[in-house]
Amino acid sequence: MLRLPNAERLCAGHRSSIFARSGLQGGLTRVPATTWRNQQATRSRWATLQAGEQKSGHISTGPNEGILFFDNVFPFRIQKIPFIPFSVGSRPLRFLDYFFNPSIMGTDPQRVLEKASKEKSLNINVIETLLRLKEGGAFVKFTHDGSTPTTEIEKTLRQYLKEQKVRPLMIPWQRMRVRLVKGKPWVEDMFRFPSSRLRVEFIPSEPGAEAVELSQEQLYAFFRPYGKLGDIITQPPDSKIVPKYALLDFQAKPKAIMAKNCLHGYLVGEAEGGGKTGTILRLTYERKVKAHWIRDWIVNHPRIVIPIVAALIATITVAVFDPIRTFFVKAHITRAWHVEDSRLFKWLKGYATDIIHWHHKKQDDDGMEAVWDDRKVNIEQIQTWLMETADTFIIVQGPRGSGKKELVLDQALKDKKCTVVIDCKPIQEARGDSATINAAAMEVGYRPIFSWMNSISGMIDMAAQGATGVKTGFSETLDTQLTKIWTNTTTALRSIALDMRHKDDKDAHLGDDEWLEAHPEYRPVVVIDNFLHKSQEGGIVYDKIAEWAARLTTANIAHVIFLTNDVAFSKSLSKALPDRVFRQISLSDCSPEVAKKFVITHLDSDVADDPPNADGSEKKLPSQHRTDLAELDTCIDMLGGRLTDLEFLSRRIKTGETPTKAVSEIVDQSASEILKMYVFNSDESDTGSRRWTSEQAWLLIKELAQKQTLRYNEVMLSDTFKNNPEGTLRALEQAEFITIVSGPNGRPSSIKPGKPVYHPAFKRLTEDKVLRSKLDLAILTDLTKIENATIDKCEQELLLLSKLEKTPAQLTPRVQYLLTKLATSQANVEKYDGESKVLKKVLGEEY
């Protein structure tokens, strides 16, 4: 029997005392320490070192001695417990040995051999047992009398274990197996773990000798008894790697462990194909991991990977960012982060106002009380509609500067807390998809927004489409991005509306949809300003907003109010709500009485806020001491009732100008704007950015200067509007140059100036002889071209008819018609030519 070193004996004694105190040995009964030592003295000892005898890495054998390897003594994965190392310094840690003691596990190889020796009459004695924690087995060194071959002893023990079915306590689904160690096992305690692949290296038995590389058939014969093989991979013939090797894949890791421990160092003799001097098999575990296999699989399968990545990104975006964006939208609508709406700020402002008297007042609000008194019916009508359950739009239509936004936000919705205003103008005027997405997100407080990723993902999608041949859906279009913004806003609006619901309400039993329908007063209000602003430029923004507004109203989530200058709004909104009748309010210019009151109130507002006079006398208002205000009646008749023009007039009068001079300045400024925007810059007409010509605009200016109202069809029949007259007039109306008034049955009936101030501006322009002569000459030139074109057509047709040998009688009326038309056109050309000479003379004489 081998003797252990002093350190080992000390550890064994220490372990004996622990087992004696814990009562784990001998069927879990308490055994005195002295009795344990006596038993251990008569029995073989445990050698718990993982490095073999004397830490040499090998187990030596003598005559009539052999080595057996038992597997499934305990779980072989326990070595991967990260917080329990193998040793502390040079001293082995015994905790694992105690916890996974084979005696406790019921798989003590020593006891198994003792029982088998008694039952099968095997004359063997156990010398030493070396546990292999990381391989889940144990080496058992034994001695025999030599009467029975070791192969018979192995066969008997295998049969015994098969009959008894010895199973470890922690892995009862696997039974213990045993094999005779044929080679010289390498017992190492390095941090290497078993695998199902073995690397078999062929080593010469003597220095200078040549090893023989075994074939697959020979390797199969040696290793198949230890377990089923998955594959045998031999070294390529042209490989220069030495020593020669082969790779064996076992289907189960325990089989590879058994084969490695039993055949390592085995000498293949000449009879077995090992050459004259023999070949030694050196076995090591080989990790069965393909380098970069994940990366290679991803690169080689883009049609599968890219859609999966896109789906994962979309899922993460929805799961992570959508709740955050909904939160920001909700905070934007409820003004949760607006300091001026907090109670503390209002209290501080009121306290400061009591100490310091503020006399500042917004100029824009001065005098609006008169306008609101005039439009009180409209304000009350909007407030009534907001209290009713009606799944349709509220539309406030009126020309630019008529006070639509102020009427709705400052008056009708002044007591409404949850209101969101979406201005279509910055969204529509944004250049590029990214700018459009940013503008739409800013209107509703949608953040974070990664608009810059849209172009990058588009390039990635194009590259992926070139590689795979199909679209991956990685990039998102403008339509998709806008849909996401409006969808998150819908979620936030619905949450705001349902926040007003309480458990103790009478109708708490209703569902969310029923409750929203029953309580229209709690719904938020969405105000869409500048709807159909520049409607001729790309309608995707307006279409998406209209569709989203339709979903809000039909689902009873919010009230939607449209503010628009376009009189043809129903054409666009009817696509979103085709089966609804819209609730409409049309705002017009103020009446002369209201306009005069507005100007006077605006003038008196500054003096009304001043402190009283030191002598206590009553303050005089500008309307009481200014004598030039008597001109207001005539000036307002000329200026009209447009609020923006009235505010401009009031500011100029405040500076000291008389009403007549102020109106004259406003008219001159309007005339300059008309020339710049509608008459000059003819290059825009050539490029298509302007859908009318200078001649067409000037013709309307001349006619409207003489007549304040023109017949619609009369203008359409003019030769100047010969090409697409209706489209041209609609474009001029959209540009606010003219106003088309609808008559009976909604058909266009008359044309008026776009603003009241445009009428005197038109007159001012026609009084300029040089300008009038220049533009009239352009009209005459254009008409002359039209008449010359008519003459050319008539001459060509007459020439064609003259080539006939004999003119049939039936063609005589046609010839007569062409001659008459040719004569009429020629007379017009001569007339236009005469008028042109007069105009050219004026241009040559006047500056």
The answer to whether 198 and 259 have CB atoms below 8 angstroms apart is yes
Cα separation, 775 vs 722, in Å, equals 18
Encoded tokens for 183: 């080679």
Provide the pLDDT for residue 785: 93
- Would you give the end-to-end CA distance of the chain in angstroms? 133
**What would the mean pLDDT of 418-424 be, rounded to a whole number?**
91
Cα separation, 312 vs 320, in Å, equals 12
**What would the mean pLDDT of 522-536 be, rounded to a whole number?**
85
For the cut 60, the answer to whether the pLDDT of residue 786 exceeds it is yes
Kindly report, residue by residue over 728-781, the tens digit of the pLDDT.
898 888 888 898 888 777 788 899 998 889 999 999 999 999 999 999 999 999
Q: Which of 41-45, 380-384, 385-389, 828-832 bottoms out in mean pLDDT, i.e. has the lowest?
A: 41-45
Provide the pLDDT for residue 82: 41
**What would the mean pLDDT of 315-333 be, rounded to a whole number?**
84
Provide the pLDDT for residue 18: 32
Rounded alpha-carbon distances, angstroms, from residue 405 to 411, 414, 640, 784: 9, 12, 20, 48
Q: What is the DSSP letter of 317?
A: I
Kindly report, residue by residue over 606-619, the tens digit of the pLDDT.
665 555 555 555 56
Of the two residues 87 and 643, the one the predictor is more confident about is 643
**What would the mean pLDDT of 426-437 be, rounded to a whole number?**
86
Residue entry with tokens 């390897």: 69
Residue entry with tokens 């894949």: 249
The percentage of residues in the chain with a pLDDT greater than 90, rounded to a whole number, is: 27
Cα separation, 60 vs 187, in Å, equals 11
- Its sign, for the CA torsion 134, 135, 140, 146, is negative
H/E run at residue 491: helix 478-498
Cα separation, 326 vs 495, in Å, equals 9
**What would the mean pLDDT of 372-399 be, rounded to a whole number?**
88
The answer to whether 2 and 60 have CB atoms below 8 angstroms apart is no
Query: Coil, strand or helix: which one is 226?
Result: helix
Provide the pLDDT for residue 609: 52
Nearest to 405 by CA among 599, 564, 559: 564
Provide the pLDDT for residue 25: 32
**What would the mean pLDDT of 666-690 be, rounded to a whole number?**
78
**What would the mean pLDDT of 352-368 be, rounded to a whole number?**
55
Cα separation, 372 vs 368, in Å, equals 6
Nearest to 422 by CA among 350, 336, 526: 526
Nearest to 678 by CA among 718, 737, 726, 720: 737
| Structure confidence at residue 6 as a pLDDT band (50, 70, 90) | very low
Mean pLDDT across the chain, nearest whole number?
80
**What would the mean pLDDT of 186-195 be, rounded to a whole number?**
84
**What would the mean pLDDT of 128-151 be, rounded to a whole number?**
84
The answer to whether 444 and 454 have CB atoms below 8 angstroms apart is no
Provide the pLDDT for residue 844: 87
For the cut 60, the answer to whether the pLDDT of residue 378 exceeds it is yes
Residue entry with tokens 């005089």: 620
For the cut 80, the answer to whether the pLDDT of residue 357 exceeds it is no
pTM: 0.62
Kindly report, residue by residue over 238-260, the tens digit of the pLDDT.
888 889 999 999 999 999 999 99
Provide the pLDDT for residue 805: 79
For the cut 60, the answer to whether the pLDDT of residue 538 exceeds it is no
The answer to whether 37 and 13 have CB atoms below 8 angstroms apart is yes
Query: Coil, strand or helix: which one is 104?
Result: helix
**Three-state SS letters, 662-684:** HHHHHHHHHHHHHHHHHHCCCHH
| Structure confidence at residue 5 as a pLDDT band (50, 70, 90) | very low
Kindly report, residue by residue over 433-483, the tens digit of the pLDDT.
888 888 999 999 988 877 666 666 666 666 655 655 555 555 567 888 888
Provide the pLDDT for residue 32: 40
**What would the mean pLDDT of 262-268 be, rounded to a whole number?**
93
Provide the pLDDT for residue 39: 39
Encoded tokens for 805: 């040998």
The percentage of residues in the chain with a pLDDT greater than 70, rounded to a whole number, is: 80
Provide the pLDDT for residue 550: 93
For the cut 60, the answer to whether the pLDDT of residue 1 exceeds it is no
Provide the pLDDT for residue 228: 93
Which of 86-95's residues contact partners 24+ apart within 8 Å by CB, and which partners? 86/50, 86/133, 86/189, 91/7, 91/11, 92/11, 92/48, 92/49, 92/50, 94/11, 94/14, 94/15, 94/48
Q: Which of 104-113, 149-158, 174-183, 819-828 bottoms out in mean pLDDT, i.e. has the lowest?
A: 104-113
Sequence-ordered list of residues with C-beta below 8 angstroms from that of 131, at least 6 positions apart, any chain: 46, 47, 48, 50, 73, 97, 102, 138
Encoded tokens for 26: 């001998």
Sequence-ordered list of residues with C-beta below 8 angstroms from that of 66, at least 6 positions apart, any chain: 141, 142, 143, 144, 150, 153, 180, 181
Cα separation, 519 vs 500, in Å, equals 10
Of the two residues 656 and 545, the one the predictor is more confident about is 545
**What would the mean pLDDT of 619-634 be, rounded to a whole number?**
76
Kindly report, residue by residue over 476-504, the tens digit of the pLDDT.
678 888 888 999 999 999 999 998 888 88
Kindly report, residue by residue over 78-95, the tens digit of the pLDDT.
655 543 444 434 444 455
Kindly report, residue by residue over 277-320, the tens digit of the pLDDT.
899 999 999 987 666 778 888 888 877 887 787 778 777 777 77
Provide the pLDDT for residue 697: 92
Of the two residues 361 and 307, the one the predictor is more confident about is 307
Of the two residues 78 and 347, the one the predictor is more confident about is 347
Query: Coil, strand or helix: which one is 725?
Result: helix
Provide the pLDDT for residue 33: 37
Cα separation, 433 vs 413, in Å, equals 33
The answer to whether 701 and 766 have CB atoms below 8 angstroms apart is yes
Number of other CB atoms surrounding residue 784 within 10 Å: 18
Cα separation, 777 vs 836, in Å, equals 6
| Structure confidence at residue 630 as a pLDDT band (50, 70, 90) | confident
**What would the mean pLDDT of 701-729 be, rounded to a whole number?**
89
Q: Strand 137-144: give its sheet, edge to edge.
A: 46-47, 124-132, 137-144, 65-71, 177-180
**What would the mean pLDDT of 542-551 be, rounded to a whole number?**
92
For the cut 90, the answer to whether the pLDDT of residue 217 exceeds it is yes
